[in-house]
Amino acid sequence: MSNNQPVLTLPITITPDSLQVDEQFLEITRTNSFLTKHLRRYYLSVSAVYQKVVYRTYWIEEKFDGPLTKNDMKLKATILFPDVVGIEFAKTKTIYSKCHARLLEVLQGKGMLLLQQDTLSKLDDATSYVIELTTGNKTVIPPNWHYTLVNTGKETLATIEMYREAQELNSCNDRRKGSGVYVIERNGIPEIVKNSQYKNLVKYATVNPESYGTNFNLDATQPLVSQLQLVASHCTDCNNHNWTALLDSANSGYFPF
């Protein structure tokens, strides 16, 4: 394959404990490993949990001026190991996606994406959104919203995010222990409970990823990287969307706390 030929699938391999790329085309510029000691403030109870890696993130760039570079896009991969930390299913920090939307594809595994607005704690009758994820799902994270990944399956949850090259990415919500909801394990089944730090959060909504994805004309059968121009346009023109209305239109039901 020449450097100028479009890459239709990502040359990425998921191993039991890491992620690898084909170094002919991609390079991992930074890797972060998050142990339970780094995540204490985000979980309900981890004081007695043995110190171990909960998840890893990989920042990935092209080695040459290929389709990602030409569309001003970069990649961030996350592998979240299957585990129960305290009483919660393993999860990432709650991240603030600043300025632009980002698109996420599930490469492997099963889990949940928790979404909430940046101003959630100040809203009356606020809602948290829960999107169930399986291998191949593609979804959009709104700009200036918070998001958390949760692994509710038996294997490593691996995701790839495509985002604008100049986009900022910050962890957030440290004071309120992360997301507005927790996903706890009860007899092996995920159960969603409220984070008491969010006084105005009154309900959550489950969102169908396929219904939500149809709003963006993405081809669910094709990898995101093969739809780069469409992805790039959504990440640029994202402020024209009413994100709450889009999520509400695809929800499968509201559940009060």
Q: pLDDT (tens digit, 9 = 90+) per residue, 56-91?
A: 999 998 888 888 888 888 899 999 999 999 899 999
Which pLDDT belongs to residue 199? 82
Provide the whole-model pTM.
0.90
pLDDT digits (tens, 9 = 90+) for 101-127: 888 999 999 999 999 887 665 655 678
Which pLDDT belongs to residue 131? 96
- For the chain of 257 residues, list the mean pLDDT of each consecutive stretch of 10: 48 90 91 89 74 93 85 91 93 86 92 85 74 92 91 96 74 68 93 89 90 83 84 75 88 88
**Residues 87, 22 contacting (CB under 8 angstroms):** no
Tally of CA atoms within 13 A in the half-sphere of 12 that contains its CB: 29
Domains of the chain, CATH where assigned: 12-115+133-180+219-241 (2.60.120.10)
CA distance 146 to 179: 8
Which pLDDT belongs to residue 221? 82
Which pLDDT belongs to residue 1? 34
